[in-house]
Structure 1
Amino acid sequence: MVLTARDIDRHMREIGTYVDWAETCDTFKAGDASTPVEGIAVSWMSTIANLREAHARGCNLFITHEPTFCSHMDDEMTYDGDTCMQVKRVFLKETGMVVYRCHDAWDRFPGEGILDSWASFLGLTGEPINTGTFSKVVPIKEQRVVDLAHEIGRRVRRLGQQAVLTVGDQNKMVSKVAIGTGAITNPREFHRMGADVGIVTEIIWWRDARWALDMEMPLIVVDHTVSEEPGMINLAGYLRRQFPGVKVEYVPTNCPFKVVTEKDEG
């Protein structure tokens, strides 16, 4: 039996029983869903560089976690005039590559999805004290914020992030750490869940950081991409097991920024 891109979508719908499939962003973004799959590329985001890399590896189905055309539902037409979007659309048309978004189904998938993979990657494997739809609070050995930040920083360097940021008192002793997925790591929610420190990814600095300071709740700030890369690596592994006859390639996205400090004149 020939595997098509539509078969992958059908499988995700079967396992994603918690997804509102009438409203989800998990849809095809480019190409023909009936295309026979020659190879699957899995990546956090369908950037033009990642799409080209997937094509070079012989993959004609690209599974992305994040948008292809710069808006959550990929329907914000104001981006269409940008050169990068035009180049991407031309590339997809010329190659016939199929792009499928796997976001809502994989965020909450137990064990290997985005949230649980991030927890495992950070070594936060204890029984949760509290859980939300996209977040949880995990007990840790009591330690200073700065020591926890050093450990988180050590782990995320493997994914290209040179350093983490902290907000608040680095010497505060903490024992209940909150984590979440992507753009919705809300310090207020973490606080309500009983955490005394939060690992956040997307925050509004003037609001969230200052609120956390006033509440004396320290934060450790990690890049959004980095926090979800472990889950996408696990998605590639999951697809290899589910479809053993199909080539599955992982295309890393990694942290988009570099850290620059004061130049040493000595």
Structure 2
Amino acid sequence: MPRQNYNNISINRRKFIAQITTAAGSAVALASPLGGFAAGFIPMQEWGTVGAVGAVGAVDTGVTVGQIMDMFIKEAPGAPFPNTVDTLKSGSRDVVVTGIVTTMFATVEVIRKAIALNANFIIAHEPTFYNHTDETGWLEKDDVYRYKADLLKKHNIVVWRNHDYIHGVRPDGVRKGLVDQLGWQQYEDSSHVIYNLATPMTLKALIGDLKQKLNIEAVRYVGDPEQQCKKVLLLPGAYGGKNQIQSISNTQPDVLVCGEISEWETAEYVRDARSAGKQLSLIVLGHIVSEEPGSEFMAKWLQTKFPSIKTTHIPTGSSLSFL
């Protein structure tokens, strides 16, 4: 994807996604942010004192939330981004970190697990307070919001959203985490959204493979289970219907594997494409499961950069269940 698209990431998720998907078929040379870990290492000393969580046995590393944030932000070309949603949702940059949790959502359950781990810094990919910009004025009298906000404050937990910056590193940290989990690195072409499998698979077999590797209970799909699939368009997260459809048109895949859809957009396009004679299928993984590997990418980055700080990845899983 073109380098310049990352230099003007806005607060609006749709605009951000549009920027990184417009040229789905274009090639760009990507350099992994993992390659330069050693050069940015910050020396640390474990003091063995009671840390910011306030629990006996927590380790005070001497490293602050702000230092960790700033080091990762520097990994993204064009950073810092204006109007980013990647701000603190609770706590302060000056808090000394005793442990880190990476996750998709800073849910109440994740916060409780962080407390049990003596971890006072949660790095979440998605919003904490139920809207993209984490505006809370409309929630001030809501008892669920108050419970969560009070829980964070009581235990001195800092929450930082890392959305724009992890998408902004090269390669995109969320995509890299997903591709690594699927084992598709060698299949990626120069567009960085198309994956040409070594041998064709039926749609049914591909769905089974995705469910097994990503630990998914069920997926939604459009297509013939016996259709042969070799050329896969992979668009995790929420690219938006227009971008998904334009990417299909530009790349002509056998199947689109995506995070989420609006049912009245991409699914209807694929249905009409099949009726018009195209061999095109759609697999909808779910937004959370398609981007969860990005939080594992973040955990590995932290473990390499800050080995003296205990980092734990806690999957949130989907909030929705299947019957």
In which range does the TM-score fall when normalised by the shorter chain? 0.7 to 0.9
TM-score (norm 1): 0.88
Cα distance in 2 between the residues matched to 1:21 and 1:219: 33
Q: Does 1:199 align with 2:254?
A: no
Cα distance in 2 between the residues matched to 1:83 and 1:190: 42
Cα distance in 2 between the residues matched to 1:8 and 1:180: 29
Cα distance change of structure 1 residues 114 and 208 upon mapping to structure 2, 3 Å threshold: same
Query: Residues 43-192 of structure 1 correspond to what in structure 2 (within 5 A)?
Result: 43-75=103-135, 77-110=137-170, 113-129=173-189, 131=191, 136-140=193-197, 141-157=199-215, 161-184=216-239, 186=241, 187-192=244-249
Higher deviation after alignment, 53-62 or 145-154: 145-154
Identity of aligned residues (%): 28
Secondary structure (helix, strand or coil) at the match of 1:100 reads: strand
Deviation at 1:177, TM superposition (A): 0.4
Deviation at 1:76, TM superposition (A): 5.3
Cα distance in 2 between the residues matched to 1:145 and 1:193: 21
Secondary structure (helix, strand or coil) at the match of 2:265 reads: helix
Q: Does 1:219 align with 2:277?
A: no
- Residue 22 of structure 2 corresponds to none
- Residue 9 of structure 1 corresponds to 69
- Residue 264 of structure 1 corresponds to none
The answer to whether the 8 Å contact 2:257/2:282 transfers is: yes
Cα distance in 2 between the residues matched to 1:77 and 1:190: 38
Could you say what the CA RMSD is over the residues aligned between the two structures, in angstroms?
1.9
Cα distance in 1 between the residues matched to 2:140 and 2:296: 30
Cα distance change of structure 1 residues 235 and 78 upon mapping to structure 2, 3 Å threshold: same
The answer to whether the 8 Å contact 1:200/1:220 transfers is: yes
Cα distance change of structure 1 residues 177 and 18 upon mapping to structure 2, 3 Å threshold: farther
Query: Alpha-carbon deviations, 1:143-189, whole Å to 9, x = none?
Result: 221221111122222xxx21222112222222210112311164303
Letter aligned with residue 193 of structure 1: N
Cα distance in 2 between the residues matched to 1:108 and 1:177: 23
Deviation at 1:29, TM superposition (A): 1.1
Deviation at 1:126, TM superposition (A): 2.9
Q: Does 1:241 align with 2:304?
A: yes
Query: Alpha-carbon deviations, 1:57-76, whole Å to 9, x = none?
Result: 10111111111111112125
Cα distance in 1 between the residues matched to 2:141 and 2:255: 42
- Residue 39 of structure 2 corresponds to none
The answer to whether the 8 Å contact 1:145/1:172 transfers is: yes
Higher deviation after alignment, 219-228 or 111-120: 111-120
